[in-house]
Amino acid sequence: MFKRSIFIVLAILGLTGYGQTYVGVKGGYTMSDINFVPVQNTRMLFADGFDYGLVFKYFNLKYVGFQAELYRVNRGYRKPVDIAELGDTIYKRVNSYIELPIFIQFRLNLRLFTLHLNAGPYVALLTGSREGDNSTGEYQMTKISLNILRDNRVDYGLLGGIGLSRDFKWGTLFAEGRIGYGYGDLQKHTYEGMPKQSKAIFQSFNIGYLYHFGAVKAEE
């Protein structure tokens, strides 16, 4: 599925030689949680690992374009351990995904920067998961063996973001914040003991560099 998606993106870019095409890299941090039903006393997971990936962007219109990414991201949640003798111990789960967002991007050229808005769907493949707690004072994390009957390997949902960029002759620098909501459950509710719902909610901040092809009004 991911190889097919990459091929489609590259094919589109190859057919758009007269527009503004950008290819680059990005990195950042994600804050995430899981919305469980029945409700669980979860807490936000903050910046557990550095996210990074590739960016493909194309504009053939002045204000509207297309953007796709192939991104490695960490998401998960924290939760107090409900055992009296463990005191303030916090359980933590961190899931690693390869994520493919596909956006429609709207942009507005300001005096020094370009303001852009992103909105679109994403699909993500779970590649690994770790869990642990801080009962010893620091988090001791161990790898989770994924169970295809219990764990959903594919997540999907919607993303939206707002950011600023600036074009130079040598490329484009950008920074963006975004929020996302998953529609796929982390765990299958048909498996014994699993919640009826376990959907991801997350926010992220990232920065990046793009090399552009085609005519771009750049600052010195």
Higher pLDDT, 213 or 65: 65
How many CA atoms, within 13 angstroms, populate the side-chain half-sphere of residue 37? 6
Confidence of residue 13 (pLDDT cuts 50, 70, 90): very low
pLDDT > 70 fraction of the chain, expressed in percent and rounded: 86
Across the chain, mean pLDDT equals 87
* Tens-digit pLDDT profile for residues 62-98: 899 999 999 999 999 999 987 655 568 899 999 999 9
Task: Please tell me the predicted confidence (pLDDT) of residue 219.
Answer: 45
Q: What is d(CA 61, CA 155) in angstroms, rounded to the nearest whole number?
A: 31
DSSP track, 80-117: E---GGGTT-EEEEEEEEEEEEEEEEEEEE-SS-EEEE
* Tens-digit pLDDT profile for residues 109-161: 998 899 999 999 999 999 999 999 888 888 889 999 989 899 999 999 999 99
Residue 15 has pLDDT above 50, yes or no: no
Task: Please tell me the predicted confidence (pLDDT) of residue 84.
Answer: 54
User: Residue-wise over 191-215: b if at least 16 C-beta within 10 A, else e?
Assistant: eeebbeebbbbbebbbebebebeee
Domain ranges of the chain: 25-213
Cα three-residue angle 120-175-158, rounded to 5 degrees: 15
Architecture of the CATH domain 25-213: Beta Barrel (2.40)
Higher pLDDT, 101 or 14: 101
Is residue 3 within a helix (H) or strand (E), and if so which, with residue range?
A: helix 2-14
- Please tell me whether the overall predicted TM-score, pTM, comes out greater than 0.85 for this model: no
